[in-house]
């Protein structure tokens, strides 16, 4: 018995004709999906206009602090093509929380703030992000832990 009979075209089982579906003779090789993410240009606009509050302190060669960012869609309304409403803010908050490159950029910004506060070279040890939304404003809180950079690490990292 030949498992694949190439002499006649494929015919679905008889019960397929009773289903309320369209019969397809050909199928696509590719599944198409829509993936939505925050564009790098939009992230630059949002972070450039973000309100920032940073606080922290050094304790035993470690830095502990927090940077709070406020992204107000009303402030960037003229620079973006999407509506700057409550639904867009909620959608933006979900995407910001899910994008690895957004997390990386926000961590970099928080570490830069920590270095500014301490006037010292720091290496990132750990950072935790929280994203929440209120109306048309998105809040990103970054809890940061850093370590003072040693002189040998500075030489290796080129700082």
Query: Beta strands 62-72 and 51-59: pairing type?
Result: antiparallel
User: pLDDT tens digits for 86-124?
Assistant: 999 999 999 999 999 999 999 999 999 999 999 999 998
Among the listed residues 84, 97, 83, the one whose alpha carbon sits nearest the alpha carbon of residue 139: 97
Number of Cβ within 10 Å of residue 144's Cβ equals 23
Say what the pTM is.
Answer: 0.73
CA–CA distance, 127 with 150 (Å, rounded to integer): 20
User: pLDDT tens digits for 4-52?
Assistant: 556 666 666 665 555 566 777 888 888 888 889 999 999 999 999 999 9
Helix (H, G, I), strand (E, B), or coil: what is residue 16?
helix
């Amino acid at each position: 018995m030949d498992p694949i009979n190439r002499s006649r075209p494929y015919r679905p089982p008889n019960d397929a004709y009773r289903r309320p579906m369209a019969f397809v003779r050909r199928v696509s090789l590719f599944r198409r999906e829509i993936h939505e993410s925050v564009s790098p240009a939009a992230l630059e606009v949002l972070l450039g206009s973000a309100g920032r509050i940073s606080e922290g302190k050094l304790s035993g060669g470690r830095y502990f602090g927090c940077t709070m960012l406020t992204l107000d869609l009303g402030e960037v309304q003229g620079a973006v093509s999407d509506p700057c409403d409550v639904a867009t803010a909620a959608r933006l908050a979900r995407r910001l929380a899910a994008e690895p490159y957004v997390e990386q950029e926000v961590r970099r910004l928080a570490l830069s703030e920590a270095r500014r506060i301490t006037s010292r070279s720091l290496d990132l040890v750990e950072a935790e992000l929280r994203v929440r939304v209120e109306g048309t404003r998105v809040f990103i809180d970054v809890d940061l832990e850093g370590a003072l950079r040693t002189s040998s690490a500075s030489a290796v990292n080129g700082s």
